[in-house]
Amino acid sequence: MRITGTSQALSLPPFTPAITVLIALNTAVFLIMEVTGVSSPETVREIITWFGLRPSAVISHGWVWQIVTYSVLHGGFTHWFFNMLALWIFGAQIDAIRGPRYVLELFFAGVVGGAFFTIGLSYAHVFDPNIPTVGASAGVYRDKKLLPALEAPQGKQEISDLYEQATRS
């Protein structure tokens, strides 16, 4: 059966400036890690030790930069690829609804929130606090979870009100 008069085309989201910056940063670090890993696997292990999220290092040694830096390290091509694909798809939609500043704030709030959650779970003996965590998943999938609320009319207003209250404080 053929339906005429309808057009259904696959359209991909645009690469907005905020999404382009996040993807470029993650891709540059990924490529540096891959190239470095070929000639010096020990250097890659050192980078992950210093910049991956190790809860014991954050709490015991004060390595607080790891709360953000872990998000640009990835555990291989598949991990990087699907994080960037999801960031592009969900982040571009949020950018279209709320703008680039909101996308970046939301992404980094997810990254920092994910770090604190990981630290809490490790000290609740769910994870080993000495094993590093890497990846942008906390920032990326925070975008995915919030997207339906942003698209619903009442959700937009509620989130907008919460956001305005938080930025005024």
CATH of the domain at 101: 1.20.1540.10
Kindly indicate the confidence band of residue 82, based on its pLDDT and cuts at 50, 70 and 90. very high
* 42, 120, 167, 139: CA torsion to nearest 10: 50
Name the least confident of 25-29, 155-159, 163-167.
155-159
- pLDDT in the model for residue 75: 92
Which residue is listed with tokens 């690829």? 81
pLDDT digits (tens, 9 = 90+) for 119-141: 999 999 998 999 999 999 888 88
- On whether residue 5 sits in a domain, the answer given is no
pLDDT at residue 4 tops 60:
no
- On whether residue 1 sits in a domain, the answer given is no
Q: Residues 12, 14, 19, CA angle at the centre, nearest 5°?
A: 120
- Structural domain span for residue 77: 17-168
- On whether residue 92 sits in a domain, the answer given is yes
C-alpha closest to that of 133 among 18, 42, 25, 49: 49
- On whether residue 78 sits in a domain, the answer given is yes
Q: At what angle do helices 137-151 and 100-123 cross, to 10 degrees?
A: 120
Mark 126-135 as b/e (b = at least 16 C-beta within 10 Å): eeebeebbbb
Kindly indicate the confidence band of residue 166, based on its pLDDT and cuts at 50, 70 and 90. low
- On whether residue 151 sits in a domain, the answer given is yes
Query: What is the tally of structural domains in the chain?
Result: 1
Contact 135, 79 (CB under 8 A): yes
Average pLDDT over residues 69-82: 95
- pLDDT in the model for residue 151: 59
Average pLDDT over residues 108-125: 93
The separation between CA 128 and the C-alpha centre of its own chain, rounded to angstroms, equals: 22
Average pLDDT over residues 4-13: 64
- On whether residue 103 sits in a domain, the answer given is yes
- On whether residue 12 sits in a domain, the answer given is no
- pLDDT in the model for residue 72: 95
Name the least confident of 3-17, 25-39, 48-62.
3-17
Q: Which amino acid is at 117?
A: F
- pLDDT in the model for residue 162: 53
- On whether residue 111 sits in a domain, the answer given is yes
Q: At what angle do helices 77-98 and 17-39 cross, to 10 degrees?
A: 170
pLDDT at residue 168 tops 80:
no
Contact 44, 33 (CB under 8 A): yes
